[in-house]
Amino acid sequence: MDKYKDPSRKMLSILLWGLIILFPLTVLAEETPVMVIEAAKSAIDQARKAGAEQQAMDDLTAAKSWLSQAEKAYEAANSIMAMVSTAKMKRAREEEVIYLATMAKIKGLTAEAKAKKQTTTAKLKETQKDLADYQSAIVVMKEKLREAENAKEIQAKAEAERKHLEESQRMADEMEARKRKELEAAQLKTAELEAMKQREVREGRLKDEKRIAEREKEASQAKLMETQLGAQRAKETMEIRAKEEKFAAEKEKMAVMQTKLQALEQEKAMLIAAGKIPKVKAEAGDKKIIMTILTIDLFTSSSDLMPAGKKILDGVGDFLESYPDSKVVTRGHTDSTGKAAANQALSEKRAQKVREYLVAYRNVSPGRVTAEGVGSSQPAATNDSAAGRALNRRVEMIVLTGEP
């Protein structure tokens, strides 16, 4: 019986031969069905960890579907019937498994990228809110400073009142001494005239006693007023101390805010410095600076670095030398032209080329920079026009400005 009389088997055979022709020979030589299936499982697992079940459910479901098809195809390829097939048919079945698993991996990577993008957007909104809260805190802090100045003025007034009270007490003491002398003189005069003016002396004595009682009453009132003023000064001193402690706490909080502001200023300076590199588009992300270079400015048609591209990367190397503590990720992108697997491999190759140049010729530590490719899964513009596709063919260098 002719094995191609069954139309479905004939179509499957044509599809498998097409996969053999379209898949890069390097991929066929280096990857096995098991390796690709495991890579797809890893990509789906990473997507789940990135939150794709909430942020990119459609892509995650598609990735699982492709993986399921790949696993079924792998089981079919290793069945008893497949064992007796020709080497060409076995190879075709392996290519089918690799294709299905590769599609599952791509969908998994796409789901992970979308989930991370949603997470990054949420963090950016949170940072903007923190900045608004910081600005509000600055306004409150200025108001607290004004209150502290008012407290100093109140303390100065209290000190002036204390000095005034001391001066009043001194004058009262001098008056008391003067009155005492007058009394002694009056008593002496009364004693000398006692015989002649006994009645007048008695009347004068009564008047003097009355005046003494009034002075004692005045002294008692002055002492009571002094006690009250002392209590008032103690209360005001306690209030001033409480305000000073509160001001110290606010000052410490302001120092924390100032540290955060300095970090933002450094990120701004990094963004300005990155924007000065020729042929580099720089923009700020969440705790990162994203530098984008079009591949037309970097690579030849065979994806080798051009002299002009090396000059651009020299500028990037100078920038990274100025900020030696920052981690870097080089990420390759392609347009949607051609097969997804070929685009993925091309994006990884270009990202790796940029990393190798920075490490080999710009003395960037290998531990600082990593390379990855995302194929055409993250377009920056439409793929429906030549201009849009040119913008999508790019390499991004993501410089981390803080802890992730």
Q: What average pLDDT does the segment 147-168 reach?
A: 80
What sign does the dihedral 50-54-56-60 (CA atoms) show? positive
347-388 per-position pLDDT tens digit? 999 999 999 999 999 999 999 999 999 999 999 999 999 999
Q: In the prediction, which pLDDT does 338 show?
A: 93
Cβ–Cβ under 8 Å, residues 16 and 96: yes
Other CB atoms within 10 Å distance of the CB of residue 161: 13
| Residue 5 pLDDT level (bands cut at 50, 70, 90) | very low
pTM > 0.85: yes or no: no
In the structure encoding, which two tokens stand for residue 216, read together?
């004692």
Q: How confident is the model at residue 20 (pLDDT cuts 50, 70, 90)?
A: very low
- How many Å apart are CA 44 and CA 108, to the nearest integer? 5
| Residue 351 tokens, joined | 């990202």
pLDDT in tens, 250-279: 888 887 778 677 778 878 888 999 899 999
Strand ordering across the sheet containing 328-333: 281-285, 288-294, 394-400, 328-333, 369-373
pLDDT at 21 over 70: no
What pLDDT shows up at residue 139? 83
Domain positions in the chain are 7-121, 140-259, 276-400
Which residue(s) pair with 289 in the sheet? 284, 399
What local confidence, expressed as pLDDT, does residue 7 receive? Answer: 52
User: CA 151 from chain center: how many Å?
Assistant: 37
Q: How far apart are CA 159 and CA 190, in angstroms?
A: 46
Q: Taking 80 as the threshold, does the pLDDT of residue 197 lie above it? A: no
pLDDT for position 403: 55
What confidence category does residue 203 fall into, taking pLDDT thresholds of 50, 70 and 90?
confident
Of the chain, the percentage scoring pLDDT greater than 70 comes to: 90
Residues 31/98, Cβ–Cβ less than 8 Å = yes
Among 225-239, 296-310, 336-350, whose mean pLDDT is lowest? Answer: 225-239
240-249 contact pairs (CB < 8 A, 24+): 240/151, 240/154, 240/155, 243/147, 243/148, 243/151, 244/148, 244/151, 246/144, 247/144, 247/145, 247/148
Secondary element (H or E) of residue 25: helix 25-30
Is residue 341's pLDDT more than 80? yes
Question: What average pLDDT does the chain have?
Answer: 84
User: Mean pLDDT throughout 30-57?
Assistant: 89
- pLDDT score recorded for residue 6: 53
Query: 49-54 — which CB contacts under 8 Å span 24+ positions?
Result: 50/111, 50/112, 50/115, 50/116, 50/119, 51/115, 51/118, 51/119, 52/111, 52/112, 52/114, 52/115, 54/115
| Phi, psi for 133 (deg, rounded to 5) | -65, -40
Q: Quote the pLDDT of residue 73.
A: 87
How much is the pLDDT for 163?
Answer: 85
Q: Report whether pLDDT(334) > 90.
A: yes
The rounded radius of gyration (Å) of the Cα atoms in the chain is 45
**Given pLDDT bands bounded at 50, 70 and 90, which one contains residue 235?**
confident
Max Cα-Cα span within the chain: 170
Look-up of token digits 């990202």: 351
Highest mean pLDDT among 232-236, 352-356, 398-402: 352-356
CA distance linking residue 213 with residue 175, whole number of Å: 15
Residue 371: partners with Cβ closer than 8 Å, 6 or more residues away: 329, 330, 331, 332, 348, 351, 352, 354, 355
Tokens 């590199």 belong to 277
- Domain 276-400: state its class: alpha beta
pLDDT cut 90: percent of the chain above it: 39
Residue-wise burial string across 309-324, b where 16 or more C-beta atoms lie within 10 A, e elsewhere: beebbebbbebbeebe
Res 233 pLDDT > 50:
yes
User: How do residues 47-65 score in pLDDT, each as one tens digit?
Assistant: 899 888 888 899 989 989 9
Give the confidence band of 83 by pLDDT, cuts at 50, 70, 90.
low
91 has a pLDDT exceeding 90: no
> What is the pLDDT, as a whole number, of residue 81?
60
